Amino acid sequence: MILSATKKFIGQIIAASILIHLGNIRLDSMHGVLGFNELPEAFSLALSYLTIIVVMNSFNLIDGVDGLAGSLGILTTIVFGAYFFAIDFQAYALLAFSLAGSLVAFLIFNHQPAKIFMGDSGSLMIGLINSILVIKFINVADAPFVSLQVPAAVAVGFSILIVPLLDTLRVFSIRILNGRSPFTPDRNHVHHLLLDRGLSHSAVTLTCVGVNVFFIGLAWLAKPIGPNYLLLAMLVLAFTGLGMLYYGNTRRRLVVASDADGRVKLKKTRRLSTSLVKETGDISKN
């Protein structure tokens, strides 16, 4: 059965409400981000709903390449699981490692060429569990009672989910600014940009996982500078890389060209200027 985006969104709200109101999985503090700490009840609820729904959708939307969502899910759950195991939060460590083990078995059949696919239910489940883990991580990582305190917990938590999370926030923002629904499909995702540069599904997956590992290492090493400067540094690096990837796009295109004898041919090119694309579009309209 195929569900519309509206029905999926309603289901996500129901899942988030169960976690927040029955499971007490919520963000009560900004932990120093932009100078905010403890949050009013209404703002805490709104931020918690937003976090859970965005993280759920981030894994759903990044699932556009064989093995990508599963590989990122393994990375994030291993990192969260290792931390919770280190501070003796065994229930959360078990939750994280259980999902990681399931995804390892799944990837045996999901790597390119994939024999099975996780679909919306699988990717949304990965996102749901990661939303639980990241909220718990942010709430306890800088608490005085834990054995391994992590300054700048919000920034470090963001770094663990940076590839799917930032890609979703960026794509949602572009769609909304263009007057479209944030759930409207397009080819602006980071894996589409990498595919357009000629990378295979496996190469795209390795690239995204490698970038995610880099940002986790960066956040861990730079956590003493505080959450604000760390978040700013990561965002600058990430958007610089995305800008280079977007504007340096070398997707192969078919171009109509004529030779010296006036014969029309179809030729492949790896780079096509914006002006040429516009002129070609104008000609086709006429």
The domain segmentation of the chain, as residue ranges, is 5-247, 253-285
Q: CB within 8 A of 270, min separation 6: which ones?
A: 250, 251, 252
The pLDDT, as a whole number, for residue 249 is: 61
The pLDDT, as a whole number, for residue 183 is: 78
Do the bridges between strand 264-269 and strand 253-258 make them parallel or antiparallel, or are there none, so unpaired? Answer: antiparallel
Q: Which long-range contacts (CB under 8 A, 24 or more apart) does 168-173 make?
A: 168/54, 168/57, 168/58, 168/61, 168/62, 169/54, 170/242, 171/61
The pLDDT, as a whole number, for residue 157 is: 95
The pLDDT, as a whole number, for residue 87 is: 95
Q: 238 near 162, Cβ under 8 Å?
A: yes
d(CA 14, CA 18) in angstroms, rounded, equals: 6
Q: What is the largest CA-CA distance in the chain?
A: 80
The pLDDT, as a whole number, for residue 18 is: 96
Tell how many helices (H) and how many strands (E) occur in the chain: 11, 2
Q: How far is CA 22 from CA 17, 182, 183, 285, in A?
A: 8, 29, 28, 57
Q: What's the pTM value of the predicted model, to 2 decimals? A: 0.83
**What b-and-e string marks burial along 157-192, b requiring 16 or more CB atoms within 10 Å of the CB?**
bbbbbbbbbbbbebbbeebeeeeeebeeeeeebbbb
Q: 205 near 190, Cβ under 8 Å?
A: no
Q: 166 near 109, Cβ under 8 Å?
A: no
The pLDDT, as a whole number, for residue 272 is: 42
Q: What angle do CA 52, 54, 59 make, to 5 degrees?
A: 100
The pLDDT, as a whole number, for residue 63 is: 86
Mean pLDDT split into 10-residue runs, the chain, 286 residues: 82 95 92 88 94 93 88 96 96 96 92 82 94 96 90 94 92 86 81 86 92 96 93 93 76 50 51 38 42
> DSSP state, 19?
I
The pLDDT, as a whole number, for residue 184 is: 78
Q: pLDDT digit string (tens) for 196-232?
A: 888 888 899 999 999 999 999 999 999 999 999 999 9
The pLDDT, as a whole number, for residue 177 is: 87
